[in-house]
Amino acid sequence: GRGTYDSETGEFLGNFGIDFFMDKLVDILGGSYTDTGYAFLADSEGVIVNHPYGSYQMAENSTTNISDLGYGLVKADGSSSAIIRDYDGTLRIITAKRNAQSRFTVYEAVDFLSIYGPTVLSVILVFVILVVCAVMVYRQLTALMRWQDAMNVRMQEALIVMSAGASIGIDIQLN
Give DSSP secondary structure letters for the chain: -EEEE-TTT--EEEEE-----HHHHHHHHHTT--SSEEEEEE-TT-BEEE-SSTTTS--SS---BGGGSGGGGS-TEEEEEEEEE-TTS-EEEEEEEE-TTT--EEEEEEEHHHHHHHHHHHHHHHHHHHHHHHHHHHHHHHHHHHHHHHHHHHHHHHHHHHHHHHHTT------
pLDDT for the residue numbered 21: 56
Measured from the Cβ of residue 13, the count of other Cβ atoms closer than 10 Å reads 11
pLDDT for the residue numbered 122: 95
Q: What is the mean pLDDT of residues 110-123?
A: 91
Q: What is the mean pLDDT of residues 27-33?
A: 66
Note the pLDDT tens digit of each residue in 54-79.
889 888 888 999 999 999 999 999 88
**Rounded Cα gap, residues 66 and 97, in angstroms:** 13
pLDDT for the residue numbered 175: 46
* pTM of the model as a whole: 0.60
